[in-house]
Amino acid sequence: MAGKFITIEGIEGVGKTTNIEFIKSWLTQQNIEFITTREPGGTELGEQLRELLLHGGDVCSSAELLMMFASRAQHLEQVIKPAIAQNKWVICDRFTDSTYAYQGGGRQLQTHVISQLEQLVHGDFQPDLTLLLDAPVEIGRARAAKRGAADRIEAEDLSFFNRVRDMFLNRAKQAVRFSVIDATQSLDSVQADIQTRLNQLKTEAAQ
Ligand code: Z5A
């Protein structure tokens, strides 16, 4: 079976971490070899950049954008592409759609600049499936708030996160690789939707 690249996207608190655990158990049941990883992060360099991005001092918007792509370049080279070449499925917590949403939508950096960096770093390489977990910002933030202190990006205001959500939803209208999942549903319903999409991808991978 061919390797597949699945990304999980959405604003904070919509259930990405929770549902990655569900995807891992589904893949294990199906005897599909996989790795899970995350952005920013996933490599030694990426994890160091993540620490600076989320818990460091002042980072201007363009430096933030470049650090996201620096982390991604290393991640693709060292982790994602080699795993797919070995026919593994790669489950990645966030990828380039988050850059469009947070740095493009949230920070209001120009989309065409993000697109140029995307071309430089991964050309036409794109996820096979992007699960966009969607919920109103108030719901996501209320769920995430139970976890403790906000990091540098989580400390932004409601309007920032509404722009982030809008950008995710706009992008989802533009590519068939997206599956938008209503994350306000019960966890069982969310996971039933995810499982339907995973079964379709498994059928495609076997062809
Ligand atoms: N970032 C960026 O700016 N640009 C980029 O290019 C990239 C990233 C790649 C990384 O944070 C930060 O980097 C992120 C974007 C930025 N900053 N923000 N904000 P992250 O991805 O590591 O963390 P996060 O987005 O803040 O995720 P999170 O807060 O950990 O949320 P989550 O993983 O989506 O949710 P969860 O932990 O699975 O669930 C939260 C709670 O809700 C938990 O108690 C669950 O049990 C509960 N839950 C989940 N689903 C349900 C349902 N359906 N019903 C009821 N309760 C539920």
Burial of 29 (0-12, 13-18, 19+ CB in 10 A): exposed
Q: Do 121 and 76 form a contact (C-beta atoms < 8 A)?
A: yes
In the predicted model, is pLDDT for residue 148 greater than 90? no
**Residues framing ligand 1 (Cβ under 6 A):** 10, 12-18, 39-40, 68, 93-94, 98-99, 102-103, 143-144, 146, 153-154, 183, 186-187, 190
Lowest-confidence range among 88-92, 124-128, 142-146, 200-204? Answer: 142-146
Residue 14 has what pLDDT? 98
Domains belonging to the chain, first-starting first, are 5-206 (3.40.50.300)
Mean pLDDT (the chain) is: 96
| pLDDT tier at 145, thresholds 50, 70, 90 | confident
Asked if omega into 40 is within 30° of 0 (cis), the reply is yes
Q: Summarize pLDDT for 38-57 with one digit per residue, the tens.
A: 999 999 999 999 999 999 99
Residue identifier of the C-alpha nearest atom 19 of ligand 1: 154
**Structure token digits, residue 184:** 């306000």
In angstroms, what is the span from residue 109 Cα to ligand 1's centroid? 22
Residue 147 has what pLDDT? 75
Q: Do 201 and 129 form a contact (C-beta atoms < 8 A)?
A: yes
Read off the pTM.
Answer: 0.97
Inter-residue long-range contacts of 139-147, CB under 8 Å, 24+ positions, other chains counted: 139/13, 139/14, 139/183, 139/184, 140/10, 140/11, 140/12, 140/13, 140/14, 140/183, 141/11, 141/12, 141/13, 142/13, 143/13, 143/14, 143/15, 144/12, 144/13, 145/13
- Atom index in ligand 1 nearest the CA of residue 95 equals 9
The rounded percent of the chain whose pLDDT value lies above 70 is 100
Average of per-residue pLDDT across 99-118 = 98
Residue identifier of the C-alpha nearest atom 44 of ligand 1: 143
Q: What is the DSSP string of 59-78?
A: --HHHHHHHHHHHHHHHIII
